[in-house]
Chain A
Amino acid sequence: MLKRPAGVVAGVLLAFAPGCEAKPIAFANGTTVMAEYGAGTMEEVQAFHAPYYWLSLGGGWLRTDSDIDGGTRDIRYLRANYLVHRWNLDDAQANVFVWGGFGSATGKRFRGDVLDRNAGFQVDYETRRLYFALMSDLHESNRYSQRIDSLQLGFAPYAHDYRDLATWFVVQARDYSGGLHRGIEWTALVRLFKGGAWVEAGVTAEGKPQLMAMFNF
């Protein structure tokens, strides 16, 4: 069982507090802050600092609200993200990331704080016009096990350059396990980014909003 000190550390990290479908490591010596609202089923805030392009360290807060039984879980975690491999191609880049960490969780269906274990991976491929990402994020404890799997396919109507506003149209399929949501949640998103700022907004097939903002500096 994880007691207050870990919660305090996570809180301090959140004060400085990145990205779900975005890359877990933006760039070397960079800091990323991210907040996401996922259609009423999940909300997440993250902050990471990358001392190297292949490693970032930080923490986050994840809240899940079950559409099935109304149960909620609040998870505060510390995490390390690791770039397993990167392919730098002429007109594309592909990456495999993994992450792992520990945290503390409270919930409606159990008493007190429990130790949360977190593990996940992301595989992505990106050109200036096409984007593909597959991500899986597992949180488990002795009281629950939940996983959020996301697949994103993106298309840019024009090829942006560094200082331009980039626009992407993204379709996301997301599957929640652990009693959070029944069936695949489909979402259509518009993603805009310029410089180090990224905002994303969309709506699920059920008409619920999904929002995300991320800043790299």
Chain B
Amino acid sequence: MKSARNILLSLLAAVAGAVTPALPAAAATIEMDVNGLVCAFCAQGIEKKLRAFPATADVVVSLEKRLVALSTIDGADIGDEELRKALTDAGYTVKAIRRESESLDDVRRRLGVQR
């Protein structure tokens, strides 16, 4: 009886999996360590610069961690050199660029940054 129920549940799960549309792939999160990031105006300028990329979905700036993070729209990417140039053109020094699997909302929660 128990095995019949397990088979039934397995079949239901298989059918549900077949009809449920695939979730979109998680957007990439790019983190940058930035020097000179000390005030809200710095953050404002950097955010404005990064949001100008068509591929940018959202941007998070933490003055405390001297960190700028952004997510890109699905299937899009922004190269390290483009990012480095954008922040240099905004007047700041990029120390490191990393690509993380963590979502931007998780980064925001980790940093304690308001939306």
Residues of A within 8 A of B (CB): 23, 26-30, 52-54, 83, 86-93, 126-128, 159-164, 166, 193-196, 216
Contact = CB atoms under 8 A, between A and B. Distances in A.
Given A161-B63, A163-B114, A128 B38 contact: yes
Interface of B: 34-46, 48-49, 61-64, 66, 89-93, 113-114
B111 to A, nearest CB: 9
B38 A30 contact: no
B113 A30 contact: no
**Top-6 shortest CB links A-B:** A27-B45, A88-B36, A53-B91, A162-B43, A88-B93, A88-B35
Given A30-B44, A196-B44, A90 B91 contact: no
Given A160-B40, A162-B40, 8 more contacts: A88-B35, A88-B93, A90-B66, A91-B66, A93-B42, A160-B63, A163-B113, A163-B114
Contact of A162 (B34, B35, B63): B63
Contacts, number: 88
B49 to A, nearest CB: 7
A128 B63 contact: yes
Nearest to A30: B45
Contacts of B64: 128, 159, 161
A53 B90 contact: yes
Given A91-B66, A160-B63, A161-B64, A29 B38 contact: no
A126 B61 contact: no
Contact of A29 (B40, B43, B48): B48
